[in-house]
RNA sequence: GCCGAAGUGGUGGAAUUGGUAGACGCAGCGGACUCAAAAUCCGCCGGUGGCAACACCAUGAGGGUUCAAGUCCCUCCUUCGGCACCA
């Protein structure tokens, strides 16, 4: 073989190409109405200090998509930015006495270097960082717009308080009573806070799923659906003995004749009039329980009889009213009807307090004895003890009873949602100021639009605790009322950082626009065609972002209702079977691996080891395997670079069998790799196919390639293989392309095509089965007919042996695959 | 408890519509090169039996459908994820 082995110096190669791409603005995106756009986005990082493997995987997947589609001719948009407000900066500030602004911007510049070191094809001219006043002024602007529309409001409510984080949290961020950030238990506190009225969009958020089906992971849609928790039921006005209305909500009106008691939430205003000390004490005790304890499955339901009586409007039954710790003030009316015969929880409660059980739905297959039933009967059945509804199936009765209640005027059909409004106030410093002013004479007054942004002071003094330093900043707090010009105070709470990330994807389209967005840009680029990130945001970021997108769409500033057309949730990077974490000591630092093997090897490993949706188990040996593959390509092309002719390819000349076979392999590979990337997003198999091609090249006798036909074949191989490798290992591919003397920029090339007639094997192996068992194999021409296949099979020595003296019942021929002979 | 996904060699993972199970990589074994080693290149590599040709067994377990099942259906087991008093 000609030529010397040049060592694969990945540091030199990667540095060289990164510099070139930067200098030539290789990945800048410009609006171009003539071309089809493709917006690829990965969830932007919180600048915590350095990239971790999860980021590297996430962004590598995005970069493949981006580079591939660019070569496919799309006008690709691939921006990156920083989710740069948040608690870690503040905690670091308290601990190390570094101002959050400095800590954050230092982290950003380091992580930006790391991203560039990976060779990711971002358009950095679009970069946004949420901590910049130029960005968060639009948070504030949106807040004001939403305030005008009644979508932002302040109310006193029991809220989740995290003692460790020293702030309140939204419901989504305190699932199961656990803080999403620090995993400590949250407490309930009664506080006056700012909310976004996401409940107004509950129906839209649910309906929007219809257009996401098939393009979003099923799991994410299910999680959101559960979280939104739509139910249809009936509001029924029961009455107090005093005659006062006592409305409840139920999804089971068919059981209303079986009500034997009612339960009310401890927070219910009706209870304020109750004097009984035992009841008062009970309420006080329950209000002290954390929501987690109250709703915990392990604990038994608690309750106490209030002494009040409730009248059932359907049958005039008078039943006792209990207070129960399991009834939520925030859902329905804060009170429920209880039917022990047909609800397991009510059944247990009734048994505990000796409340009667009344059967109203019977099992048609085996009648139920109410005195001996071991548990509630919750299945379908026939109505009994239900006046004019007796004999109906309970499913029919649901509608009939609702009709009746509506006609009588004591009931109304109602839709309820589990989702609550989004609590966005945070009692912390490092976030976007809420643009509101409190005036003693005018009350709550919004900051006028012209005064935006309300800039968060960056020169702050931490007292070593978690209290917001803004509390002590009189020069910040004290202001004048925009209405009466009198003395007033600013809101010092900041916004949940999930607000920042709820619209950043659209801001990328026009980071420097005078309005929130430049209409032309946002109209051209939105929606995001492919979004990639972790599944942990299924009901957090991904729900909030959809909400914001819909609100902005209704305001007419965003062209699309759904922000993300397709979603890919990538699997975690794990080591030794567990998520990488400092406490487990199994963290692998990307920097160290890049230093040892280079970015291309890391990229290849991230894609080769597992398909994107699955977990990826870290393996040092696996990384070496990828490094070895890159070296194999490097060596082969370096040794044979002299044989390459730009634009060379066979043109009808007779090829030796070896060359003919390589050429077929090449076209087969192009076809398969294209399919794997484009249709399946399965990069591991795409890489495997290219490995097979390289393995095949190594097995060809070197003399074959020195002939004119050999040169032509090899030239064709290089001219297709390197572009295919380019999205995966862009630096190495570019360097080799350069080495071959090509003047073009590899990433600007068209994705290679293949010739259909060559992307087929000319000879195939077919299988002969007898009764479904493989008994023989034979090499045949690929265009063999069914009849010929059957003839060959029956003529085969082995087959004849097995079928001799046997009755051939049936012969099944699968073209190009097999012949199955069924005997006897 | 309910809902969903998954279970394939020593290992990470392939197998597009039911049609040759185990592509590709890692690990392992053998060979070439070398004074030797590393690197590199070549070969072998699911299990059992057999010198071999070959036979039998094998995709969590057990049934079923089919000429043919990793793939479809039923039951069960295990693992992972989500929801668990929302009336």
Q: Which protein residue's Cα is closest to nucleotide B40 at C1'? A: A632
Element (H, E) at A247: strand A245-250
Angle at A233 between CA A227 and CA A234, to 5 degrees: 140
Write down the pLDDT at residue A64: 97
Residue A735 has, within 13 A of its CA and on its CB side, a CA count of: 26
- Measured CA A16 to C1' B72 distance, in angstroms: 54
Helices A10-23 and A100-117 cross at an angle (nearest 10°) of 110
Q: What's this model's pTM, rounded to 2 decimal places? A: 0.94
Write down the pLDDT at residue A1: 36
- Measured CA A630 to C1' B30 distance, in angstroms: 26
* Contact indicator for A509, A517 with CB cutoff of 8 Å: yes
Q: Which protein residue's Cα is closest to nucleotide B39 at C1'? A: A628
* Contact indicator for A462, A428 with CB cutoff of 8 Å: no
Nearest nucleotide (C1') to alpha carbon of A626: B25
Task: Give counts: helices (H), strands (E), chain A.
Answer: 27, 30
* Contact indicator for A549, A208 with CB cutoff of 8 Å: no
State the virtual CA torsion across A156, A159, A161, A167 in degrees, nearest 10: -60
- Measured CA A670 to C1' B25 distance, in angstroms: 20
Write down the pLDDT at residue A299: 66
Q: In the structure encoding, which two tokens stand for residue A343, read together?
A: 């609800």
d(CA A632, CA A694): 8
Nearest nucleotide (C1') to alpha carbon of A299: B85
Q: According to DSSP H, which parts of A24-173 are helical?
A: 53-71, 87-96, 100-117, 133-148
- Measured CA A775 to C1' B49 distance, in angstroms: 19
SS3 A308: strand
Q: Which of A194, A167, A803 is nearest to A426 (CA)?
A: A167
* Contact indicator for A595, A588 with CB cutoff of 8 Å: no
- Specify the residue for token string 């073209």: A815
State the virtual CA torsion across A410, A413, A414, A415 in degrees, nearest 10: 160
- Measured CA A353 to C1' B5 distance, in angstroms: 42
Nearest nucleotide (C1') to alpha carbon of A339: B87
- Specify the residue for token string 């991230």: A606
Nearest nucleotide (C1') to alpha carbon of A255: B87
- Measured CA A520 to C1' B16 distance, in angstroms: 40
- Measured CA A103 to C1' B76 distance, in angstroms: 56
Question: Mean pLDDT for each 10-residue chunk of chain A (824 residues)?
Answer: 68 97 95 96 95 95 97 97 94 87 97 98 98 98 98 91 88 83 82 94 94 90 92 94 93 95 93 90 84 66 92 96 90 93 92 94 88 87 94 93 96 93 94 97 96 94 80 94 96 96 98 96 97 91 96 97 95 86 86 96 96 92 96 96 93 92 96 95 96 96 94 97 98 97 90 93 89 88 90 89 84 91 86
d(CA A15, CA A113): 12
- Measured CA A344 to C1' B74 distance, in angstroms: 30
Q: Which protein residue's Cα is closest to nucleotide B80 at C1'? A: A615
Write down the pLDDT at residue A527: 97
- Measured CA A685 to C1' B61 distance, in angstroms: 31
d(CA A289, CA A47): 37
Nearest nucleotide (C1') to alpha carbon of A291: B85
Please provide residue A470's backbone torsions phi and psi, each rounded to the nearest 5 degrees: -65, -25
- Measured CA A391 to C1' B37 distance, in angstroms: 91
Q: In the structure encoding, which two tokens stand for residue A559, read together?
A: 């062209």
Nearest nucleotide (C1') to alpha carbon of A764: B20
Write down the pLDDT at residue A300: 75
SS3 A267: coil
Q: According to DSSP H, which parts of A30-86 are helical?
A: 53-71
Write down the pLDDT at residue A107: 97
Angle at A122 between CA A120 and CA A128, to 5 degrees: 130
Q: In the structure encoding, which two tokens stand for residue A167, read together?
A: 């702030």
- Measured CA A621 to C1' B10 distance, in angstroms: 15
Q: Which protein residue's Cα is closest to nucleotide B24 at C1'? A: A688
Q: Which protein residue's Cα is closest to nucleotide B14 at C1'? A: A685
Nearest nucleotide (C1') to alpha carbon of A230: B86
CA distances for A229 relative to A314, A335, A542, A567, A606, angstroms: 28, 18, 16, 22, 37
d(CA A648, CA A4): 23
Residue A126 has, within 13 A of its CA and on its CB side, a CA count of: 28
Helices A620-640 and A730-739 cross at an angle (nearest 10°) of 10
* Contact indicator for A258, A360 with CB cutoff of 8 Å: yes
d(CA A409, CA A256): 16
d(CA A262, CA A661): 81
Angle at A116 between CA A112 and CA A117, to 5 degrees: 115
Angle at A786 between CA A780 and CA A791, to 5 degrees: 70
Nearest nucleotide (C1') to alpha carbon of A818: B19
Nearest nucleotide (C1') to alpha carbon of A809: B67
In strand B, the nucleotides that come within 7 Å of a protein beta carbon are 3-5, 12-16, 19-21, 23-27, 39-43, 55-56, 67-69, 81-87
* Contact indicator for A548, A502 with CB cutoff of 8 Å: yes
Q: In the structure encoding, which two tokens stand for residue A683, read together?
A: 């990069």
Q: Residue A563, preceding bond cis, omega within 30 degrees?
A: no
CA distances for A612 relative to A39, A588, A689, angstroms: 19, 19, 17
């Amino acid at each position: 073989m000609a030529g010397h082995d040049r060592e694969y110096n990945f540091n030199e190669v990667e540095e060289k190409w990164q510099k070139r791409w930067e200098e030539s603005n290789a990945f800048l995106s410009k609006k171009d109405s003539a071309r089809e756009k493709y917006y690829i986005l990965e969830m932007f990082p919180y600048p915590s200090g350095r990239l971790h493997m999860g980021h590297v995987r996430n962004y590598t997947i995005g970069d493949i998509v981006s580079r591939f589609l660019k070569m496919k001719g799309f006008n690709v948009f691939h921006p990156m930015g920083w989710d740069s407000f948040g608690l870690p900066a503040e905690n670091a500030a308290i601990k190390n006495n570094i101002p959050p602004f400095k800590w954050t911007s230092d982290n950003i510049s380091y992580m930006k270097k790391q991203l560039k070191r990976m060779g990711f094809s971002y358009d950095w001219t679009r970069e946004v960082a949420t901590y910049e006043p130029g960005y968060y002024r639009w948070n504030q602007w949106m807040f004001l717009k939403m305030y005008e529309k009644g979508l932002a409001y302040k109310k006193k409510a029991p809220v989740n308080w995290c003692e460790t984080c020293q702030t309140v949290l939204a419901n989504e961020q305190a699932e199961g009573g656990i803080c999403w950030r620090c995993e400590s238990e949250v407490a309930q506190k009664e506080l006056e806070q700012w909310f976004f009225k996401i409940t107004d969009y509950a129906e839209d958020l649910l309906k929007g799923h219809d257009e996401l089906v098939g393009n979003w992971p099923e799991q994410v849609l299910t999680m959101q659906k559960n979280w939104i928790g739509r139910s249809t039921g009936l509001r029924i006005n029961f009455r107090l003995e005093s005659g006062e209305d006592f409305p409840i909500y139920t999804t089971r009106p068919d059981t209303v004749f079986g009500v034997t008691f009612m339960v009310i939430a401890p927070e219910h205003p009706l209870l304020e009039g109750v004097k009984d000390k035992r009841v008062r004490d009970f309420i006080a005790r329950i209000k002290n329980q954390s929501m987690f304890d109250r709703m915990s499955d392990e604990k038994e339901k608690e309750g106490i009889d209030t002494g009040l009586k409730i009248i059932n409007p359907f049958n005039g039954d008078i039943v006792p009213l209990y207070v129960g710790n399991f009834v939520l003030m925030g859902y329905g009316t804060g009170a429920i009807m209880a039917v022990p015969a047909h609800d397991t929880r009510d059944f247990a409660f009734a048994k505990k307090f000796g409340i009667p059980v009344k059967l109203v739905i019977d099992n048609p297959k085996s009648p139920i004895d109410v005195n001996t039933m071991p548990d509630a009967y919750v299945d379908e059945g026939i109505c009994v003890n239900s006046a004019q509804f007796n004999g109906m199936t309970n499913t029919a009765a649901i509608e009939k009873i609702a009709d009746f209640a509506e006609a009588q005027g004591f009931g109304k059909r109602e839709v309820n949602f589990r989702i609550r409004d989004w609590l966005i106030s945070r009692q912390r410093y490092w976030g976007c100021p809420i643009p509101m002013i409190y005036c003693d004479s005018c009350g709550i007054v919004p900051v006028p639009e012209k005064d935006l942004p309300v800039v968060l002071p960056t020169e702050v003094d931490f007292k070593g605790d978690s209290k917001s330093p803004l509390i002590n900043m009189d020069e910040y707090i004290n202001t004048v009322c925009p209405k009466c010009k009198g003395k007033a105070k600013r809101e010092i709470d900041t916004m949940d950082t999930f607000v920042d990330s709820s619209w950043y994807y659209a801001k990328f389209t026009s980071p420097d626009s005078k309005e929130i967005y430049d209409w032309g840009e946002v109209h051209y680029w939105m929606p995001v065609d492919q979004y990639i990130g972790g599944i942990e945001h299924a009901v957090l970021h991904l729900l909030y972002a959809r909400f914001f997108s819909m609100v902005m769409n209704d305001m007419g500033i965003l062209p699309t209702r759904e922000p993300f057309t397709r979603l890919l949730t990538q699997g975690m990077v794990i080591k030794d079977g567990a998520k990488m974490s400092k406490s487990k000591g199994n963290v692998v630092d990307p920097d160290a691996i890049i230093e040892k093997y280079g970015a291309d090897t890391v990229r290849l490993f991230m894609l080769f080891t597992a398909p994107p949706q699955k977990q990826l188990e870290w393996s040092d040996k696996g990384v070496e395997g990828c490094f070895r593959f890159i070296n194999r390509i490097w060596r082969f092309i370096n040794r044979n670079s002299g044989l390459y002719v730009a634009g060379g390819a066979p043109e009808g000349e007779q090829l030796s069998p070896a060359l003919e076979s390589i050429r077929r392999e090449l076209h087969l590979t192009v076809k398969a790799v294209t399919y794997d990337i484009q249709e399946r997003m399965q990069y591991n198999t795409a890489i495997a196919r290219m490995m097979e091609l390289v393995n095949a090249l190594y097995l060809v006798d070197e003399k074959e390639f020195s002939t004119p036909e050999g040169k032509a074949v090899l030239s064709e191989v290089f001219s297709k293989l390197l572009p295919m490798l380019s999205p995966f290992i862009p630096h190495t591919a570019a360097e080799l392309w350069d080495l071959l003397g090509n003047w073009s920029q590899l990433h600007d090339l068209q994705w290679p095509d293949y010739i259909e007639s060559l992307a087929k094997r000319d000879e195939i192996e077919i299988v002969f089965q007898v009764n479904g068992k493989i008994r023989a194999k034979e090499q045949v021409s690929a265009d063999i007919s069914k009849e010929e296949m059957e003839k060959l099979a029956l003529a085969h020595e082995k087959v004849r042996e097995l079928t001799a003296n046997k009755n051939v019942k049936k012969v099944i021929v699968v073209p190009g695959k097999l012949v199955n002979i069924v005997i006897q």
